[in-house]
Structure 1
């Protein structure tokens, strides 16, 4: 396997086909500048966060601090990464129809003993 370094990671385009199959710019979650920042520096940030490479510069250390919420994001790449993490880690919404079945209780059952008698006038 090729050794990862900062320059090769910056030249790779970042994509997340699982969560954003049509790309970041077409998702509606990110602005044009945010999607560009994610595509350009997302591979580097992901490698830093996963521990695949060690931070070499002060910028790398700042990216890590923002990614782990130790400081507020300042650069467009930091802001886009934090927003991306919030989007993919948000709770999944449930169905509006529910997932469990309700059963009839005794009060809801149909009583066959309650026959209705109708009297007809034959005039």
Structure 2
């Protein structure tokens, strides 16, 4: 059963629609070769990282060590996976103009000026 599961995982193309909704090739972050490597091997690496599959050979063991950050990347797929991890874990930029000047709390603390209006006859 594990070999069937491994074969299905290896045949499945890897996609990350959350971070790359239009695909790896159209993102501009990866070259064509790198996007092909991610699509081909990404499902296997993510299954190894999640513990669904156990590494069967030295290459898979090396991929797992690189994915965990225990070893420096050497092969093209290891370098591509490291690049992918660094891209999806980079800090998010909120705004190019900095923090918002106004918050909801700032509007709530302003006293009602309508109550202070006095009309004289």
TM over 0.5: yes
Aligned residue for 1:8?
A: 8
Shift of 1:59: 1.1
Deviations 1:65-104 (A, max 9, x none): 111121111121111111111111111002115234287x
Aligned residue for 1:32?
A: 32
TM-score, normalized by length of structure 1?
0.75
Report the secondary structure of 2:30's partner residue.
coil
1:89 lines up with 2:89 in the alignment: yes
Between the aligned partners of 1:59 and 1:101, the Cα distance in structure 2 is 53
Between the aligned partners of 2:78 and 2:26, the Cα distance in structure 1 is 20
The answer to which structure has the higher helix fraction is: 2
TM-score, normalized by length of structure 2?
0.76
Coordinate RMSD, CA, aligned: 1.9
Structure 2 unmatched ranges of 5 or more: 107-121
Structure 1 unmatched ranges of 5 or more: 104-123
Aligned length: 102
Q: Which has the larger radius of gyration?
A: 1
